[in-house]
């Protein structure tokens, strides 16, 4: 695998999940693989889990890690071809990407959606510019439209906690005061489309995700109906896609409560974090035995590690 910018880059999700679970048992078993190799993590947005788990994964593989916060420390980058750069942007990605590529073997990038321009966000300008100009391997640490490292960690977590029967998995929208990206939900849907599961997406009307991503996944507008007999309840807020980037509904009736969890088949509660307590989910649910958010965050390390391993193996 040269790049990891979408969950489908893995080729075989189930194989990667099982290999990640093996790696988790002895995380230092491939320590020699990354010797002499450097990964550069570029952040255009905030991060806790992605930043720390990806560094941890790289170190488990013996790699050197360089981290740069573009938002606060870097020159403001221009991405438009032919731009007359007489404004606030100091450096073009054409130079920046080529320069960075000389200092490392893999570049990992976090660059959230603008949520103001659907076409530009769909074009994935930041990730694709680095792919085009850096030439080295590129990893998506949450781009405008996807967060595949999170989706892979979620697949690992569900494998570890899965029931004996074919699981019912619900992706539920929940309210949030801010407009959030679609990336986490998109990659979750793409990952679920590769799984043997009864998968249902539930959200208020008007919150449909990109139909090119949801394809023929089941959508149920009645959250309580969706929760019935669920084995996993995976929760995430996103802003409207149709009315791009807008918050159309902050109805607290969509918060995940103990009462709703009682409708499920003793479901595990999952969320990628960070989560707004008592807005997205009631304390009683996230603090319950059924909440596996901390285990889910732990799997971010093994998600990143299997991705890095596959990329290092590609380079030989």
Nearest approach in angstroms of CB 63 to ligand SN0 is 23
Of the candidates 146, 167, 181, 245, which one interacts with ligand SN0 according to CB under 6 A? 181
Q: Does 189 bind ligand SN0 (CB under 6 A)?
A: no
Picking from 6, 278, 241, the residue whose alpha carbon sits closest to that of residue 138 is 6
Tell me how far, at minimum, the Cβ of 155 lies from ligand SN0, in Å.
16
277 binds ligand SN0 (CB under 6 A): no
Compute the least distance from the CB of residue 284 to ligand SN0, in Å.
20
Q: Between 150 and 264, whose beta carbon lies closer to ligand SN0?
A: 150
* Residues 6 or more apart in contact with residue 92 via CB below 8 angstroms: 77, 78, 79, 83, 85
Binding of residue 109 to ligand SN0 (CB under 6 A): no
Length of the chain: 316
Residue 191 within binding range of ligand SN0, rule CB under 6 A? no
Please report whether residue 183 would count as binding ligand SN0 according to CB under 6 A: yes
- Binding of ligand SN0 by 274 (CB under 6 A): yes
- Binding-site member from 57, 158, 174, 180 for ligand SN0 (CB under 6 A): 180
Q: Min. distance of Cβ 85 from ligand SN0 in angstroms?
A: 29
H or E element, residue 169 = strand 168-173
Under the criterion CB under 6 A, does residue 276 sit at the interface with ligand SN0? Answer: yes
Q: Backbone phi, then psi, for 157, in 5-degree steps?
A: -65, -45
215 to 36, 43, 145, 203, 218: CA distances (angstroms):
43, 31, 15, 16, 9
Give the total of residues touching ligand SN0 (CB under 6 A): 8
Region of 160-168, 177-185, 243-251, 304-312 interacting with ligand SN0 (CB under 6 A): 177-185
Tell the smallest beta-carbon distance from residue 51 to ligand SN0 (Å).
11
Instruction: Name the residue whose CB lies closest to ligand SN0.
Output: 180
- Binding status of residue 148 toward ligand SN0 by CB under 6 A: no
Q: Does 184 interact with ligand SN0 (rule: CB under 6 A)? A: yes
Q: Considering only 9-17, 154-162, 269-277, 299-307, which stretch makes contact with ligand SN0 by CB under 6 A?
A: 269-277
Asked if 178 touches ligand SN0 (CB under 6 A), the answer is yes
Phi (first) and psi of residue 37, to 5 degrees = -110, 145
Give the other-Cβ count within 10 Å of 225's Cβ.
11
Find residue 43's DSSP bridge partners: 69, 110
Nearest C-alpha neighbor of 302 from the set 155, 147, 197: 155
Count the Cβ atoms, other than its own, within 10 Å of residue 286: 20
**Element containing residue 306 per DSSP (H, E):** helix 293-315
Q: Whole-angstrom Cα distance, residue 96 to residue 113?
A: 20
Min separation Cβ 55 and ligand SN0, Å: 16
Please give the Cα distance from 51 to 136 (Å, whole number): 20
CA distance 283 to 301: 26
Q: List residues binding ligand SN0 (CB under 6 A).
A: 178, 180-181, 183-184, 272, 274, 276
């Amino acid at each position: 695998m040269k790049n990891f910018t979408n969950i489908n880059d893995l080729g075989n999700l189930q194989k990667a999940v099982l290999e990640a679970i093996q790696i988790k048992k002895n995380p230092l078993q491939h320590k020699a693989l990354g010797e002499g190799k450097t990964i550069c993590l570029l952040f255009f947005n905030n991060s806790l889990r992605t930043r720390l788990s990806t560094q941890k994964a790289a170190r488990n593989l013996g790699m050197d890690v360089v981290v740069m916060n573009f938002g606060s420390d870097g020159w403001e980058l221009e991405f438009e071809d032919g731009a007359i750069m007489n404004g606030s942007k100091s450096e073009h990605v054409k130079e920046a990407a080529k320069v960075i590529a000389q200092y490392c073997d893999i570049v990992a990038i976090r660059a959230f959606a603008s949520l103001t321009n659907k076409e530009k966000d769909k074009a994935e300008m930041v990730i694709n510019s680095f792919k085009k100009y850096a030439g080295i391997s590129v990893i998506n640490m949450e781009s405008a439209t996807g967060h595949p490292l999170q989706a892979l960690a979620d697949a690992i977590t569900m494998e570890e906690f899965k029931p004996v029967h074919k699981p019912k998995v619900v992706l539920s929208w929940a309210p949030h005061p801010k407009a959030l990206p679609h990336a986490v939900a998109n990659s979750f849907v793409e990952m679920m489309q590769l799984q043997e599961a009864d998968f249902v997406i539930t959200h208020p009307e008007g919150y449909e995700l990109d139909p090119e991503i949801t394809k023929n996944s089941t959508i149920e507008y009645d959250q309580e109906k969706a929760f019935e007999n669920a084995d996993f309840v995976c929760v995430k807020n996103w802003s409207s896609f149709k009315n791009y980037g807008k918050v159309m509904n902050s109805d607290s009736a969509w918060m995940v409560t103990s009462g709703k969890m009682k409708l499920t088949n003793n479901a595990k509660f999952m969320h990628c974090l960070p989560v707004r307590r008592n807005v997205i989910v009631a304390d009683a649910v996230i603090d319950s035995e059924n909440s596996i958010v901390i285990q889910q965050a732990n799997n971010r390390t093994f998600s990143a590690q299997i991705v890095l391993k596959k990329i290092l193996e590609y380079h030989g």
